[in-house]
Amino acid sequence: MTDRVIPSAGVLAGWRRSSYSNDQGGSCLEVLDGHRRGVPVRDSKNPHGPAVIVPGRAWAAFVAAVGNGGLPS
C-alpha cells in the first residue's frame, strides 16, 4: 500500500479544492490533476501531511456517484 501514499504532499504543487468548498475551515479534500500514478487526495487542513493516490478509474467512479446522488448521506 505504500506505493499509494505520498508521505509529504506539500512537496507537490497544483492542488485544487472543490468549488463547493469555502474558507470557513470545513472538512475539505484537495486533489492533484495529472499525476502519473492516479489522483492524489489530501486533507486541506493538513497540506504538508500525507496524500493517498486513488486509481483514476476509481476516482472517476466516485465523482460520478457523488454527482448523481448515488452515495448515501
Residue-wise pLDDT for 58-68, tens only, equals 999 998 998 89
Q: How many CB atoms lie within 10 A of CB 50?
A: 14
- Residue 2: band (very low, low, confident or very high) from pLDDT cuts 50, 70, 90: low
Which distant-in-sequence residues (6+ apart) come within 8 Å of 16 by Cβ? 30, 31, 32, 33
pLDDT over threshold 60, residue 70: yes
Query: What are the extents of the domains in the chain?
Result: 2-67
Pairing of strands 5-6, 16-17: unpaired
SS3 23: coil
- Record the cell numbers describing residue 3, joined without a space: 506505493
pLDDT at position 71 = 79
